[in-house]
Amino acid sequence: MGKFIELTAADGHKLAAFVAQPAGKPRGGVVVIPEIFGVNSHIQQTTDGFAADGYLAVSPAMFDRVQRKYDTGYSQPEIQAGVAIMQKLDPKNSMMDVQAAIAEAAKAGKVGIVGYCFGGTISWMAAARASGLACSVPYYGGGMHGLINEKPKVPVMCNFGETDQSPTLAQAKEIAAKHPGITAHFYAGAGHGFNCDQRGSWNAEAAKLARSRTIEFFRKHLG
């Protein structure tokens, strides 16, 4: 089980991060970027899961810049509150927070990044803008289509739900077409947030398949 530590970004901002250690010698490091619900129980469980697969897993509290200890559920008011905080974030600052998490995860070797929803967008951005990454796995990043012109510097594998509205299937296919070098998987019958077993949109089959592909991708690029 992981625990919270404090990271310091390049501008001196201090942020919390949930860190889970693998049992044996780590295969590498994984940065886990949360959805707009903060480093909540689901993200902690997900981070613990990557540690169980052999990685030093680090989930930074990206919302600490606006509101510390942000941790909510998935009701409509909570979604609206999360979106409001997300809109106050400056991408430059978010990348500094990602960079701090990469530095922590790098203690274990090569580093990959994975993110869900808001975290998917951040993971896509990080593939182009961050340093020290070996690969990136964005899940259904709602803001990815608006960042279609980013130029990933590392191997990227995207997981999209075919019934998602953010991004839509058409937008997701456009991203894949514009970046023939990336791997894009599309999950039939899966919508936004299909990986989260605490959400109504959870799709057990798609979540399991996407996770196995993600681990395989990390095995290939991290160890």
The strand pairing partners of 20, in sequence order, are 57
Write down the residue that tokens 């514009």 correspond to: 178
Q: Which of 64, 97, 145, 164 is catalytic?
A: 164
Cβ atoms of 141 and 121 closer than 8 Å: yes
Whether the ω angle into residue 167 lies within 30 degrees of 0, i.e. cis, is yes
Q: Which of 42, 145, 179, 192 is catalytic?
A: 192
48 catalytic, yes or no?
no
Q: What are the backbone angles phi and psi of residue 163, rounded to the nearest 5°? A: -100, 10
Cβ atoms of 39 and 20 closer than 8 Å: no
**How many other β-carbons are positioned within 10 Å of the β-carbon of residue 50?**
26
Query: What residues act catalytically?
Result: 164, 192
